[in-house]
Structure 1
Amino acid sequence: MLRPLHQSRRQRLPAFAGGLLVLLAVAAFVGIALSALLAGRMTGGILQAFGDPVVRSVLSFTLWQAFLSTLISVGLALPVVSALARQPAFPGRIWLIRLMAVPMGLPVLIGALGLIGIFGRNGIVNDALVSLGLSQPISVYGLTGILIAHVFFNLPLATRLMLSALERVPAEYWRMSASLGLSPIATFRFIEWPVLARVIPGAAGLIFMLCVTSFTLVLIFGGGPAATTIEVAIYQALRFDFNPERAVSLALLQITVTGVILIGLSLLPAASDTGVTSGRRFHRFDGRRPLVRLIDALLLSLAGLFLILPLGQVVVSGLQADLARLISQSAFQQAALTSLLVALVSGATATLLAFGAVAARTEIDTLRNRNVGNRAMSIALASLSSLVLLVPTSVLATGWFLALRRSGEIASFAPLIVAGINALMALPFAVRVLEPAYREHRARTGRLAESLGLSVAQRLRRVDWPELKRPFLTALAFAMALSLGDLGAVALFGSENIMTLPALIYASMGSYRSTDADGLALLLGMVCLLLALLGAPGTRQASEREAPDAR
């Protein structure tokens, strides 16, 4: 009886050690950045930041644009969700739902270029307005452009979260509404709204946080000091004004704001995309009236056009560029090589950190008697997914920029620091991919592996790796794709220290070489699409495993 217990402890010890190593590595990386911020506070700080009228204006705009973006995204998602739920036989419904997953994995810079091509001064929308006789076309810059961009990226997220909740409504509810002869409005009031009301607060809170910490979209569409968020103000304080004191004060202010929002989010019901929104049909009887079908078809068509036109614009504009010339340029080759190396390092780091955290938490959950240390470790590992929201990219980059500036080694260590920041940014996604697969695998093979007396190395090689190889590759591919499209950390370190493909695209936009920027965006999008396709098999299998439970 003692030998299996001894073997169980021997198997758990490496997992506990791995989880502790993950916590120490993340704590050291984040701690050095925060220590540099506090040491560089000088005479500034939170109180002085709140006393600065410019900073107060930046804070007000940050919260205001986030509120409006959230309100519009959730408000527009409501009729789209109802239409999708009412019309299970709508032509192309499955593709529209899949299309809504694209903006969530699309590099922000590519989406921004597509939106400029549609809503910009010479875009399709303004050309149509001019042809109708309007002399003052819509400006895509400023608050208007920020809202359009945030809705483009967050409307699909809100739609998927809410549609996932509606798809879990029992079919008997819809049959009952049909037998009572409820109208679509009554059905929404008595069946859909009570379900959506439980999801909307969490979804809105998540979108609000994403808009508060938005950097690239505000940097591109902000259009000046009147439309600047805290993250962009940090970038401007370091890169243009070279005012480290203000950058530190703004970074501390950003942590305070995100901390308050996270506390508020913890009080709201969680909203999660369970993966059920893959087009599963269920019978609805309130969408069969001709007028309702016409309105729903119009809503879904407009939503599809809003998403697909910017993506198509990127492809069309990119193909008009001289791709062969761009590829042959040394600047592109160096930026592409740097991007791939940084993405590989950050992707591998994120995947290994995620595996260590997931393995340790799983082993802790299998313990019958968990002490205070076990519980604390499990909570700390679970909190890693929220760390990237509490300490955003701009804050980490600012802290490390100040730390490296004192040693004069910014250029030497910039690629590694950017890779580390991107790894933390991708860590929640890697955990989400690995955790269901690892827990299922551990439940099926754990006792057998212990009874065979396999060593840790033998178990990894013969039992774990063959089963977890595909989820590993999926997590690696998604983490690399996120790193490839990131501009936040790279922008703060500057092109003289590190040049990646997003930085090269942004530099081309700043130099008014829009055609080159479109071509580079197409090339970057193709690489990210290839990584997404490489990771797709693992995602598909995970969805197939989760679908029966969700139903």
Structure 2
Amino acid sequence: MARATALCAAGMLAALTLGPIVAVLVRAGGPGAVSAADLAALRFTIVQAALSATFSCALAVPVARALARRRFVGRGALVALLGAPFILPVIVAVMGLIALFGQAGLVNGALAALGLPRIDIYGLHGVVIAHVFFNLPLAVRILLQGWLDLPAERFRLAASLRLTPWATFTQLEWPLLRRLLPGAFAVIFVICLTSFAVALTLGGGPRATTVELAIYQAMRFDFDLSRAATLALIQLALALGAGWVALRLSRGAGFGTGLDRLPLRWDGQGRAARLSDAAWIALAGAFLLLPLGLVVLRGAPGLALLGADTWRAAGHSLAVALASTALCLAWALPLARPRGALLSLAAIAISPLVLGTGLFLILRPFVNPFAMALPVTALVNALMALPFALRILTPAAAATRADYARLAATLRMTPAAWLRLVMLPRLARPMGFATGLTAALAMGDLGVIALFADPQRATLPLQIYGLMGSYQMQAASGAALLLLILSFGLFVLFDRGGRIRAAA
């Protein structure tokens, strides 16, 4: 029964991933020609993704190294805060970055006071800054985990041999970076390839158009499905190529096992090293906290300016987030196996705009597609969040099967009893985290809904973008703060619920 359920869920995942793409290609009559503007968008996409991944990984190295070898009050909270960009709505982060780096932002105000030239947040600069804001914490977490996994005995041996700091770096830390950095670079590169909301808000014109934004323009304004499908296939090929290159470059042996002791560091104890580590940690913390603080400060007065349309859009976003969470969880539970996690990776390499358009084409003979804007958005958001949910649930589910499957078979437990008495209680904590993450991501998504929603069905991110487009910046700041509160509120609610159930 469990295997049949898993196969059914896998079949639905494959159909929802490939079916819409096939529908778009059939409706378009096959792949189309690529224009000069599309080639320019492709070049800009590759350049900004490469720059964003390079800066994110390069800056993550000293920050992760500093966090790995320093112990201080609040370190755990700061490391936990590095997960905030995963649940931060993109449009909220953009508002915070504009408040910090925009023409009237704090940074440009300080530069003007010093007589220095201003920073332009729009165009390539803004897109790269926004992507570094989102992906620097991801790179830090990847590298920090690798540093913490180094056996403590290796550092003890380096200290007994009186290795210099440079020798310690070349013999211990550089092999670690050589193994981890290609994978981190590839993940960030693929995330930046599919950038939509950042390019839509901070692109600043045709010269700063990404492939995902070109797909949106082809569908929304030209209804050129052939060109959109071609661009989606190119984007998918780039993502797969980046993954293949990372797989080739990430080879390398590890450092073996140790006694699971805390990796005490004897290197970097000089005053210069301590000051350098403190500076890197302070800069990273400020880069993450200042935009969020500015969103709160500038958004609080704007809450009083929110109209009925904004509150209705907030209700739509809540409904979409809850529906996406339920769908994602229903998918993830039967697919929480290693093969299911591998199958779900295809969902994040395909344009959500093409997926949404394909679903609308499939539904068009039966219902009004525009009336289905919110349900289709919920479905696509659940599909896009599935890989993250499976990465959270699969290890715990595999451990539960290994520990209790034989006992369940001996007791002849039914599938329903297995799920209720064994699986769900032991998945409570990871399930709470996965559902909170899915709800927060769906709450802040600005993707499919931007193609098909009318003002009566707009979600809160789309409403914020509309307010920004009409230069109602104070109201947009208030709506951004509302979105931030709702997103973090959903995450905390589901995550805390999982912890309570686990403790019961």
Q: Give me the TM-score of the superposition, normalised by structure 2.
A: 0.91
Of all paired residues, the percent bearing the same amino acid is: 44
Equivalence map 1:458-537=2 (5 Å):
458-496=417-455, 498-537=457-496
Q: Deviations over 1:333-356 (max 9, x none)?
A: 321221111111111111111111
Contact map agreement 2:428 2:501 (CA 8 A) in 1: no
Give the partner amino acid of 1:347: T
Q: CA deviation at 1:59?
A: 0.8
Is 2:387 the counterpart of 1:447? no
1:30 and 1:214 map into 2 onto residues whose CA distance is: 19
Contact map agreement 2:123 2:202 (CA 8 A) in 1: yes
The residue number in structure 1 matching 2:3 is 16
Give the partner amino acid of 2:13: V
Q: Secondary structure at the match of 1:286?
A: coil
CA-atom RMSD, angstroms? 2.6
1:230 and 1:270 map into 2 onto residues whose CA distance is: 31
Q: Deviations over 1:232-253 (max 9, x none)?
A: 0111222234433432332233
The residue number in structure 2 matching 1:59 is 42
2:422 and 2:262 map into 1 onto residues whose CA distance is: 37
Counterpart selection for 1:331 from 296, 309, 319: 309
Contact map agreement 1:142 1:223 (CA 8 A) in 2: yes
Q: Secondary structure at the match of 1:40?
A: helix
1:77 and 1:43 map into 2 onto residues whose CA distance is: 43
Using the TM superposition, name which of 475-484 and 228-237 deviates more.
475-484
1:448 and 1:42 map into 2 onto residues whose CA distance is: 55
Contact map agreement 1:202 1:270 (CA 8 A) in 2: no
Contact map agreement 1:414 1:497 (CA 8 A) in 2: no
Q: CA deviation at 1:105?
A: 2.0
Is 2:24 the counterpart of 1:37? yes
Q: CA deviation at 1:193?
A: 0.9
Report the CA distance shift for 1:527/1:301 in structure 2 as closer, same or farther (over 3 A). Answer: same
Q: Which runs of 5+ in 2 are unaligned?
A: 253-260
1:184 and 1:413 map into 2 onto residues whose CA distance is: 61
Counterpart selection for 1:296 from 274, 277, 282: 277
Contact map agreement 2:305 2:475 (CA 8 A) in 1: no
The residue number in structure 1 matching 2:394 is 435
Counterpart selection for 1:92 from 60, 74, 80: 74
Give the partner amino acid of 1:28: A
1:258 and 1:421 map into 2 onto residues whose CA distance is: 19
Contact map agreement 1:65 1:143 (CA 8 A) in 2: yes
1:264 and 1:384 map into 2 onto residues whose CA distance is: 20
Q: CA deviation at 1:156?
A: 0.9
Give the partner amino acid of 1:40: R
Is 2:375 the counterpart of 1:388? no
The residue number in structure 2 matching 1:343 is 321
1:465 and 1:160 map into 2 onto residues whose CA distance is: 28
The residue number in structure 1 matching 2:104 is 122
Report the CA distance shift for 1:82/1:184 in structure 2 as closer, same or farther (over 3 A). Answer: farther
Contact map agreement 2:179 2:249 (CA 8 A) in 1: no
Give the partner amino acid of 1:459: W
Q: Deviations over 1:116-152 (max 9, x none)?
A: 1100110000000000113x41110000001111111
Contact map agreement 2:348 2:387 (CA 8 A) in 1: no
The residue number in structure 2 matching 1:163 is 144
1:207 and 1:84 map into 2 onto residues whose CA distance is: 21
Contact map agreement 1:218 1:232 (CA 8 A) in 2: yes
Counterpart selection for 1:418 from 377, 385, 391: 377
Counterpart selection for 1:68 from 51, 64, 71: 51
Is 2:122 the counterpart of 1:144? no
The residue number in structure 2 matching 1:153 is 134
Using the TM superposition, name which of 117-126 and 535-544 deviates more.
535-544
Report the CA distance shift for 1:152/1:291 in structure 2 as closer, same or farther (over 3 A). Answer: same
Q: Deviations over 1:48-81 (max 9, x none)?
A: 22xx222111111111111111111111111112
Counterpart selection for 1:196 from 177, 191, 195: 177
1:497 and 1:300 map into 2 onto residues whose CA distance is: 45
Q: CA deviation at 1:298?
A: 1.3
How many correspondences in the alignment? Answer: 495
Q: CA deviation at 1:401?
A: 4.1
Report the CA distance shift for 1:268/1:22 in structure 2 as closer, same or farther (over 3 A). Answer: farther
Q: Secondary structure at the match of 1:137?
A: coil
The residue number in structure 1 matching 2:255 is none
Q: CA deviation at 1:535?
A: 3.6
Give the partner amino acid of 1:345: A
Q: CA deviation at 1:222?
A: 0.7
The residue number in structure 2 matching 1:248 is 229
Contact map agreement 2:360 2:369 (CA 8 A) in 1: yes
1:317 and 1:150 map into 2 onto residues whose CA distance is: 22
The residue number in structure 1 matching 2:265 is 284
Using the TM superposition, name which of 300-309 and 494-503 deviates more.
494-503
Give the partner amino acid of 1:98: A
Equivalence map 1:214-225=2 (5 Å):
214-225=195-206
2:149 and 2:427 map into 1 onto residues whose CA distance is: 29
Is 2:334 the counterpart of 1:356? yes
Contact map agreement 1:166 1:196 (CA 8 A) in 2: no
Q: CA deviation at 1:270?
A: 8.9
Contact map agreement 1:174 1:285 (CA 8 A) in 2: yes
Contact map agreement 1:73 1:158 (CA 8 A) in 2: yes
Contact map agreement 2:25 2:225 (CA 8 A) in 1: no
Give the partner amino acid of 1:309: L
Report the CA distance shift for 1:310/1:517 in structure 2 as closer, same or farther (over 3 A). Answer: same
Using the TM superposition, name which of 385-394 and 411-420 deviates more.
385-394
Q: CA deviation at 1:396?
A: 0.9
Q: Secondary structure at the match of 2:268?
A: coil
1:24 and 1:163 map into 2 onto residues whose CA distance is: 37
Q: Deviations over 1:143-194 (max 9, x none)?
A: 0001111111111111110111111112122223333433433322221111
Contact map agreement 2:428 2:502 (CA 8 A) in 1: no
1:57 and 1:352 map into 2 onto residues whose CA distance is: 41
Q: Secondary structure at the match of 2:108?
A: helix
Counterpart selection for 2:217 from 229, 236, 247: 236
1:309 and 1:77 map into 2 onto residues whose CA distance is: 18
Contact map agreement 1:44 1:249 (CA 8 A) in 2: yes
Using the TM superposition, name which of 92-101 and 509-518 deviates more.
92-101
Report the CA distance shift for 1:184/1:82 in structure 2 as closer, same or farther (over 3 A). Answer: farther
